Structure 1
């Protein structure tokens, strides 16, 4: 991947609905090479897909919850079951494996506090092997971006 590929990626991260003509102009390429590069990025899996970025509040999910999970054990069966259940749970938008005293950080969207309580009681408590659940509620977003930084 070269700097031109990164320019294409940045432009598409900023606006995934650019036409090939507009993208080519933005990255200073002619349309044919631009399209070839974009298709190569898609086919190689660098560009995984395209999506709409939706306002959580307008959609009806105004509460963002950050949930830190510590497992009782790191035995393969416990970890595999937890990770399988996380992937099956639609309220969990992101799950990071983290270092430190906790094992995972989840980003969860819910409609209200009752929705979060239901999520914990019905979804999280049903997963065996969880030692602790530590919750933080995001009461604001200072920065949220889907555009990667430049390489230093």
Structure 2
């Protein structure tokens, strides 16, 4: 197993994790329509990244675990939705949202570093397939980071000074 294989595995895991977390945050903060809708869209990007990474790994005869990266609907989803409704009526949801945005930002930043590493390795090995993958997906990961950073900048003054 070489470094590129390890990076593909780590990035696949990171994108799946980010997709699940974005989905959970969208459900948890469903009363905030912007957060819900943008988080859902950004989760779709991460799921697509994970699928493309899985395809690339498969072409290289590398097996990745849990290729679908989705969470089955069920009781947990319903529980999250009810919790979001209940939290919408308490003063703490702003702090929870800031914490969630911070976690999302850190996860996206980790993925961004892996995309950069993969792109650099692709350039060094003249692997056009890997370079195209990184060139297509990394900008969306950077967009995920910009969204979380912008939301943190917007919400922090309101939430942190209201305590």
Larger strand fraction of residues: 1
Q: Same fold (TM over 0.5)?
A: no
Q: TM-score range by the shorter chain?
A: under 0.3
TM-score under structure 2 normalisation?
A: 0.25
